[in-house]
Structure 1
Amino acid sequence: MQAQPAQELEGVATTLRAHGARFAFVHGSAAVPGATAPGDIDVAAWFGDARVDGLAVAAALPGWVDLLTLDRAPLELGGRVALTGRLLFEDDPPVRVRWQAQTRKLALDERHRVERAARTSWRDAVVDPERLHRLLRGVTEDLAWLRRYAAVVRAELLADPARLGHTKYLFVTALEGCVDVGHHVVASEGWRVPDTNADAMRALAEHDVIVDEVARSMAKAVGFRNLLVHNYAEVDDERVADYLNDLGDLDRFVTALTALLED
């Protein structure tokens, strides 16, 4: 897919402004001049309020936009945007300059720490075990709820908007947790920079953290998460019910990353 036309990105900027964004960047491969963009365009926006509802903002954007909310972004992602992102718009230049300078400094300091740690045991010195345990615990709790809904008679679930809506929300939060885990491990190890959230899963497989089969399944699941976020009202409820009967690779992902911490 070629880069989105400038007028379409202007529409993205207009939507972000309407939701209170004060500046935004295009990042990932789409930020490289002349590069062929992936299926999704990565956009990072700063709102000046960590309470902003990122899901609501993302739902208002076109389906080809993958939104990162900088107010709550982990350092490895925010730093990457600050270092390599291409400015989409800014309505508060002093705030943008201050954020970008501070985040670049923190990211470069962290990069130096990672490079030093790479010469020692990476499990002890690079990956943050407490953070990964917290993220994996959240995914595990979401999976427990999803299994409860999987046990509900399919027709009953599809006829219950409350339970169906909660199921969709749980898929979004569980998959976002998996994405955060993937990016943290990849960035902490200093491996190649993934182009997209799905590519982070492939990067884990390249280094034998998860097997190829799980990586392919998780990449598709991340695409399903994007569909839920961007086209919530148009998602086929039957497809949601189908995914409830296919939670095995999410379990395998959690098991593999938990084992990584315990080695």
Structure 2
Amino acid sequence: MVDKDILQRKLSFIDLKLHNLETLKHLERHDFLASFQSVDSAKYNLQVCIEALIDISNHVIARERWGIPGTSAEAVKLLIKHGVLDKDKELSIVQMVKFRNRIVHLYQEVDDSEIYRILQENLDDIKDFIQAVMSKFF
């Protein structure tokens, strides 16, 4: 059985970081790209949000005894298999995990314009993950 306190702490953390990202989202593209503080803040907040999503996924899988995923993408697929996430969310969440890996390991290849695009187009994917976990376990 999942530890709801752990989930709640991680979900609250994600919510706080999403608030930061929403603030950055409202910057004009030119202003965002001209500010290394904004770009770096967005990268960090995205990275830790996604890391917390991965942590939540692994916590649920371990506590529910659904197996041992070899990768974070496999963890997402296990959540889908067991009805925590809808199948239509697989691509977006797997892309998030891959993006997190790029920020951490291939950081020199991450284009700042891509960060801005993610702020504009993909924050709802994180919100959807939170809602799915909340619906299933609370």
Counterparts of 1:40-189 in structure 2, within 5 Å, are: 126-189=1-64
CA drift of 1:234 comes to 2.4
Which of 224, 235, 240 aligns to 2:115? It is 240
**1:200 counterpart residue number:** 75
Residues in 2 aligned to 1:203 and 1:230: alpha-carbon distance in whole angstroms: 24
CA drift of 1:233 comes to 2.5
Structure 1 position 260 matched with structure 2 position 110: no
More strand by share: 1
Equivalent AA in structure 2 for residue 254 of structure 1: I
Gap runs ≥5 in structure 2: none
Larger Rg computed on CA atoms: 1
- Higher relative contact order by CA 8 Å / sep ≥ 6: 1 or 2? 2
Residues in 2 aligned to 1:241 and 1:171: alpha-carbon distance in whole angstroms: 11
Contact (CA 8 Å) 1:204, 1:215: kept in 2 or not? no
Q: Which runs of 4+ in 1 moved over 2 A?
A: none
Contact (CA 8 Å) 1:175, 1:225: kept in 2 or not? yes
Residues in 2 aligned to 1:260 and 1:141: alpha-carbon distance in whole angstroms: 21
CA drift of 1:258 comes to 1.3
Residues in 2 aligned to 1:206 and 1:190: alpha-carbon distance in whole angstroms: 13
Residues in 2 aligned to 1:234 and 1:127: alpha-carbon distance in whole angstroms: 37
Residues in 2 aligned to 1:175 and 1:247: alpha-carbon distance in whole angstroms: 11
For the residue of structure 2 that corresponds to 1:171, the secondary structure is helix
Contact (CA 8 Å) 1:143, 1:174: kept in 2 or not? yes
> What percent identity do the matched residue pairs reach?
31
Q: Deviations over 1:175-234 (max 9, x none)?
A: 000000000001111112211011111110001101012122111101000000112232
For the residue of structure 1 that corresponds to 2:59, the secondary structure is helix
Residues in 1 aligned to 2:117 and 2:88: alpha-carbon distance in whole angstroms: 19
Contact (CA 8 Å) 1:135, 1:177: kept in 2 or not? yes
CA drift of 1:259 comes to 1.6
Residues in 2 aligned to 1:140 and 1:258: alpha-carbon distance in whole angstroms: 12
Structure 1 position 209 matched with structure 2 position 84: yes
TM-score w.r.t. the length of structure 1 is 0.51
More helix by share: 2
Residues in 2 aligned to 1:249 and 1:211: alpha-carbon distance in whole angstroms: 12
Alpha-carbon RMSD:
0.9
Q: Deviations over 1:65-103 (max 9, x none)?
A: xxxxxxxxxxxxxxxxxxxxxxxxxxxxxxxxxxxxxxx
Equivalent AA in structure 2 for residue 159 of structure 1: A
CA drift of 1:261 comes to 2.3
Contact (CA 8 Å) 1:146, 1:167: kept in 2 or not? yes
TM-score w.r.t. the length of structure 2 is 0.95
